[in-house]
A and B are shown apart, each in its own frame.
Chain A
Amino acid sequence: MINRECGVFKTTYQADMALYTVPLARITVWAFLAFFVFVLPFVVDTQRLVWANLVGIHLIAALGLNILVGLCGQISVGHAAFMAVGGYTAAIMTSRADVPFWVGLVAGGVFASVYGLLVGLPSVRIKGFYLAFATLAAQFITEWTITHVKWIGGGFQASIIVPRPSLGPLTIDTEREKYYLILALVIVAVVVALNIARSRLGRAFVAIRDRDVAAELIGVDIARYKLLAFMISSFYAGVAGALWVYYLGNANIEAFRIVESISFLAMIIIGGLGSVLGTIYGTAFVVLLPFVLEEILQVFKGVIPVADIHSFVAYLRFAVYGGLIVFFLMVEPEGFNRLWRNVKDYFRVWPFPY
């Protein structure tokens, strides 16, 4: 936690390029990993495990959006549409062609990234609010197509029932098995995202975000990198969508509405744009807050004197949720990640003020 760099000497290039250079940081990461693999799934009940799974699935999608919006600076309000493309691709492939689920997972990502490439094309010419509207259009076009094209939507209520995923002889059935599947994918997603940010690719994205004209002058092919950002981001969304479909056992268009797209934006903004750790904080905050609030408010159920307590709790949950988002953004507009860094920086020089 208290990352002091003093005394850490890098003697090889390899050591310099490591993801975590400070020993303590490395230990912390391994400790967290061990906790999530060996401890968490065995100490919590199914209901809490569902919380973890929901966070995991949303996190994969949010990490993708973070690459597009946080790193490359291209705003997108159609992220749920890419999820829908990935989800329906996986659903169609597994339910009709009977392909193994991991093929469906990859295919969902690939299809979504091709779709992302198409949707991203306007970004070569337009930016800012105008691009936001182009991606909004993509959201509506996708919803409309899935609802109206029977071959894609599956006919009844635009939903397709998907068989249980299985890995060889093992059918992924219980909540804990689903948890391990999601955890494995989350780890891959996080590691890739961390590495993208510090690679040539990520530097190019950041250059475009900070000033596209300057980026072009230093030799970044803007069109190519913007489209790459769209493709990578949609790949993440596609995999998350496919995972969502396998997790629920069916694909339904109402799970990929515009509201979802906006809540993904909320996750990365609250967490801190451009930071992987921030995205994790933000996703956990947005996904878990309603559940946690519900639990807290249930405790005070007897105290609040209203007729219909259940509905009152529901309204209050919304109000508190909105209020907390505003509060955190006021305290630290750069998100949870900045908040965390402030804490770290304070302890780094402690006991001196700076």
Chain B
Amino acid sequence: MKAFKLWWAALALPLLMALAVACEAEEETPPAPRTPGAAQTPVARKEPVKVGFMYDATGATQIIGPPYKVGFEDAIKLINQKGGVEGHPIEAIFCEHGYEVPKGVECYERLKAQGVVIINTYGTPITEAVVERCVADKIVCNHPGYGIAAAANGEKFPYNFPTAASYWSQAGAAMQFILEQWQKAGNPGKPKVAYLYYDNPAGREPIDVLRAIAQREGLELREYAVPAPGVEMSAQVTDIVQRFKADWVITHLFGRSPSVSIKALRDAGFPLDRVVSFVWGSADADVIAAGGWSVAEGYYGIQFTAIGTDHPVLDEIRQMYRAEGKSPPKEMEEANVYYIRGVAQAFMWAEAIRQALRLAGEPVTGEKMKMGLENVKGDIKGLMRLEMSARDHEGGGYVQIWQVKGGKWVLAKDWFRGYRDIVESFVYQ
């Protein structure tokens, strides 16, 4: 008899769930405008522009998702408090997908059903899974810094916008930077370059571009793969330092492995001011995990958004928090690069909405948003530099290079790009 009761309970639960869903569905019909911050501003009375933001708090990249999302949320709040874009508040709708493809596809449909014009399709597999839907539904899919590098080709991928230097552009910039430093130091000939990468699809992506540049410049390039989980690379580093005797090292690692690479290279006696890392190895967390700022002194990192804590925009966000009597989020004060990437993306979208309104008028649709984003040109609040066009959805591939110096990141080279012709030959092949 006891078992009987238990399975009645088990049966009742799904029923209750179904009921709750049904109730919620009914409530959904009149969409309640829950625009953050809109209440305080009498200016923002026009139709809100809905935007979708996917991220993960539980999946493979859960250390990136939450600060990235908080940055985006804060910036949207700031934009709305200042009256939105031309009077239109931005309504951000979030969806967490745990880096799973089925959940990502479901998130896409959920956001679409709520009428968003642009979606941050977070994560490479999810971005690829919805490419076709973005085109069919005419919704802009923005994926700065991940997804397919070839999506920079706006003619082939009309609704995909990588909008940040791809791994190919980063490879071009890294090589350019290395050759400049080599000549600046007054060295004869060409440096020997080692490429130390995480052995996954993303890690392998820049190899062809690096090879093409090495061939043109006539320099010696050797690739060293670090297998997953990427926390053991002493054999590769010994090889680089003692057998190959590299002059410069480019690293392209993820997660815990950048910090391991800093330590391993240092222990092998390699000067860290001849190491340049791709974007996922140049966060504060990587330096701290490697044993602190003094350990990583000299280490170079590529960035496609500015980093650090002193930017006018961040001061405005601090003020906004203080006005509410709260302290600013720890993500910002810890100089989390992902936080800043979220902020930069929000302002990029705001600029795109402004352009869309200027060029095509109200209401903002996915098609107009595409046109708007294609016309975003120049500096985004000092955090990013983009030169978008209908053909180039990457935005020119501009990067900055920062260096660890005296306990913080110092700008070593402002917005630039390298070997654009080689990179473009891959994008438009």
- Please list the residues of chain A having a beta carbon within 8 angstroms of any beta carbon in chain B: 45-47, 50-51, 54, 58, 147-148, 153, 156-159, 161, 164, 173, 248-250, 252-255, 259, 287, 290-292, 295-296, 298-299, 308, 310-311, 313-315, 317-318, 327-328, 331-332, 339, 342-343, 346
Contact = CB atoms under 8 A, between A and B. Distances in A.
B10 interface: yes
B42 to A, nearest CB: 25
A313 B97 CA distance: 11
The secondary structure that dominates the A interface is helix
A317 B97 CA distance: 11
Contact of B58 (A45, A173, A315): A315
Nearest to B227: A144
Interface stretch (B105-113, B240-248, B346-354, B369-377): B105-113
Contacts of B69: 308, 310-311
Q: Which of B17, B69, B106, B201 has the most CB of A within 10 A?
A: B201
Given A157-B124, A298-B24, A314 B58 contact: yes
B131 interface: yes
| Contact residues on B (Cβ < 8 Å of other chain), bracket | 35 or more
Interface of chain B: mostly helix, strand, loop or mixed: helix
B202 A250 contact: no
- Most A CB contacts (10 A, CB to CB) among B3, B105, B113, B199 go to B105
A254 B101 contact: yes
B24 A299 contact: yes
B232 interface: no
A331 B128 CA distance: 40
15 contacts: A54-B102, A147-B201, A147-B204, A157-B205, A252-B101, A291-B103, A308-B70, A311-B65, A313-B96, A314-B57, A331-B9, A331-B10, A339-B7, A342-B3, A342-B7
B15 interface: no
A295 B10 contact: no
B21 A310 contact: no
Given A50-B109, A318-B58, 8 more contacts: A54-B106, A58-B102, A156-B149, A156-B205, A173-B136, A248-B129, A299-B20, A331-B10
Contacts of A159: 128, 148, 201
A160 to B, nearest CB: 10
A311 B94 CA distance: 10
Nearest to B65: A311
B124 A252 contact: yes
B96 A46 contact: no
Given A51-B106, A147-B201, A287-B102, A250 B129 contact: yes
Contacts of A259: 100
Given A47-B110, A248-B101, A296 B202 contact: no
Interface in B23-68: 23-24, 27, 56-58, 65-66
A252 B109 contact: no
B185 interface: no
B101 A157 contact: no
Given A159-B128, A299-B24, A315 B4 contact: no
Contacts of B23: 299
Contact of B105 (A54, A342, A346): A54
Contact of A47 (B3, B66, B103, B106): B106
Contacts of B200: 147
B323 interface: no
B290 to A, nearest CB: 27
A296 B20 contact: yes
B201 A343 contact: no
Nearest to B329: A307
Interface of B: 3-4, 6-7, 9-11, 17, 20-21, 23-24, 27, 56-58, 65-66, 69-70, 94-96, 98, 100-103, 105-106, 109-110, 112-113, 124-125, 128-129, 131-132, 136, 148-150, 199-202, 204-205
A46 B112 contact: yes
Contacts of A311: 57, 65-66, 69, 96
The 5 A-B residue pairs with the shortest CB-CB distance, nearest first, are: A249-B132, A254-B125, A314-B96, A311-B57, A314-B57
A119 B220 CA distance: 41
A275 to B, nearest CB: 16
Contacts of A332: 7, 10
B129 to A, nearest CB: 5
Contacts of B199: 147
Given A310-B69, A339-B7, A46 B113 contact: yes
Nearest to B97: A314
Contacts of B21: 292, 295-296
Contacts of A317: 58, 96
A274 B57 CA distance: 35
B18 to A, nearest CB: 8
Nearest to B99: A254
Contacts of B94: 310
B197 to A, nearest CB: 12
A343 B70 CA distance: 48
Contact of A50 (B24, B70, B106): B106
Contacts of B20: 295-296, 299
A198 to B, nearest CB: 27
A339 B10 contact: yes
A50 B129 CA distance: 13
A292 B128 CA distance: 24
A158 B101 contact: no
Contact of B106 (A250, A291, A318): A291
B397 to A, nearest CB: 16
A97 to B, nearest CB: 20
B201 A158 contact: yes
